[in-house]
Amino acid sequence: MITTEPKNLKHHLSRYLLRVRRGEEVLITVDGEPVARIVREPRKTLPLRERLAPLAANGLIELPSVTLHRKSAEP
């Protein structure tokens, strides 16, 4: 968890938001007293690999070792 004062948060907001995206929490304090917390918003849907992970763990499927990045088909 990262702790910061509002003035520092204001000057470096993009850096803090990047860390929040990576899963860290930011605790905002005023005169050393916690007043707010910034946490990552939960994803609405999990990526396909994460949804299939329980099946792979039970040996029902085998996930590919390489992830392919395909372009969308042109209409």
Q: Which of 46, 39, 5, 4 is nearest to 22 (CA)?
A: 39
Query: How do residues 17-46 score in pLDDT, each as one tens digit?
Result: 999 999 999 999 999 999 999 999 887 788
Q: What is the CATH number of the domain that holds 15?
A: 3.40.1620.10
Q: Could you tell me if residue 60 is inside a domain?
A: yes
Which pLDDT score is estimated for 35?
95
**DSSP codes joined into one string, 5-40:** -HHHHHHTHHHHHHHHHTT--EEEEETTEEEEEE-P
- Are 16 and 38 spatial neighbours (Cβ–Cβ below 8 Å)? yes
Q: Could you tell me if residue 72 is inside a domain?
A: no
Q: Could you tell me if residue 2 is inside a domain?
A: yes
- Are 26 and 16 spatial neighbours (Cβ–Cβ below 8 Å)? yes
| 3-class DSSP assignment, residue 54 | helix
How many domains in the chain? Answer: 1
Whole-prediction pTM value?
0.55
Q: Could you tell me if residue 58 is inside a domain?
A: yes
